[in-house]
Structure 1
């Protein structure tokens, strides 16, 4: 049981417990009943704070973002490209810190306004570079969606080092595809060095945004 079970039950404590339990059981195994058991309370007690699991996921995503942003300051000297690169690198790192972190984050809505100052600053930076508000929103959303989607795939392929080795043997894949040499050789690029894959993909997104809107 949680060592914090005597502390008052509130939304943030429930989300904190859920995030810790997430690393043990994954998103599929994360139930309100399991969280209640970890908190040493009855499951109905959680419904005072969250009407359903989706509401809890919203709070968990908010907490992930809150932790990601804690202690970090935006650099006013950033170009818009640098800001997008930094923000999405930070997001990937944060999501990888939790089992199924990207799935938890995907499709959620923040429950507070802690994210608003950074969002306002990002939109102002893009606007000052020549983006319309709609273009700035589209640019940020596109980069954000790439990062979340990438990490969902990354965590699907390697939820842990052991699982990654069990799930895909690149050497065996290459042997099975000897009649398709380019497809066979692509295996290392598709399923190896996720850091390189992410950086290249994000660079493509940012370059594409600049090209699309004609903004350097």
Structure 2
């Protein structure tokens, strides 16, 4: 008696991107190849080129899927102040990026493949312009906070690729010992390479305060 094999789900862009994101935590960005993804999907690598012309096109789709998942987990309130909106959006972005090994590197510089992001962007810009920002000021304020978050997480994941994981060479006590002749620099290691959550939150408040001071919007 033979057992019929269950039909495979059709190969489409979302299935490929979902598989790539699942593999990312195992391989990291540098080890994520179309060949490895094809093997996981049990197809030949050329089959992926029907959907993505190259790895960057796949990264664009992965970033788009990361955005969809992030947006689904952030609850925005039309009554938010512009400061609270920046906090919510950028905390949510950091959390989303930290869910994947090299998540910030995948997201940085990628181009969204659809218009999923447009509604959120429109709502944010409306909130900022209603608060007294000009459109250009609103764009610079939101994009500066975004760039801070992306850059912060790239540095954070350079030390801690995933929560609870730490690369060699970032032992704070060993660093302090090596820099013993430079006491302030030695002590600074505990601020730079530890307690990233507090570090991020403080930095975001500095960005928000700077935006308010620059544009005179309270």
- Name the structure 2 match of 1:185: 187
Give the alignment partner of residue 69 of structure 1, picking from 68, 71, 78: 71
CA drift at 1:162: 6.5
Give the alignment partner of residue 137 of structure 1, picking from 112, 136, 139: 139
2:158 is the counterpart of 1:156 = yes
- Name the structure 2 match of 1:25: 27
Give the alignment partner of residue 114 of structure 1, picking from 101, 116, 127: 116
Distance between the aligned counterparts of 1:37 and 1:181, measured in 2? Answer: 52
Give the alignment partner of residue 202 of structure 1, picking from 204, 211, 214: 204
CA drift at 1:72: 3.8
Distance between the aligned counterparts of 2:16 and 2:162, measured in 1? Answer: 25
- Name the structure 2 match of 1:85: 87
Distance between the aligned counterparts of 2:83 and 2:46, measured in 1? Answer: 47
Distance between the aligned counterparts of 1:110 and 1:16, measured in 2? Answer: 15
8 Å CA contact 1:27, 1:104 repeated in 2: yes
- Name the structure 1 match of 2:3: none
Report the aligned-residue RMSD.
1.5
- Structure 1 length normalisation: TM-score? 0.95
CA drift at 1:166: 3.0
- Name the structure 2 match of 1:10: 12
- Name the structure 2 match of 1:166: 168
CA drift at 1:136: 0.6
- Name the structure 1 match of 2:41: 39
Q: Deviations over 1:115-153 (max 9, x none)?
A: 111110000000001111111111111000100110010
1:115 counterpart SS class: helix
Deviating runs (4+, > 3 A) in structure 1?
160-163
- Name the structure 1 match of 2:103: 101
8 Å CA contact 1:5, 1:40 repeated in 2: no
Aligned length: 213
Distance between the aligned counterparts of 2:62 and 2:75, measured in 1? Answer: 22
8 Å CA contact 1:23, 1:98 repeated in 2: yes
Distance between the aligned counterparts of 1:56 and 1:62, measured in 2? Answer: 10
8 Å CA contact 2:60, 2:110 repeated in 1: yes
8 Å CA contact 2:74, 2:88 repeated in 1: no
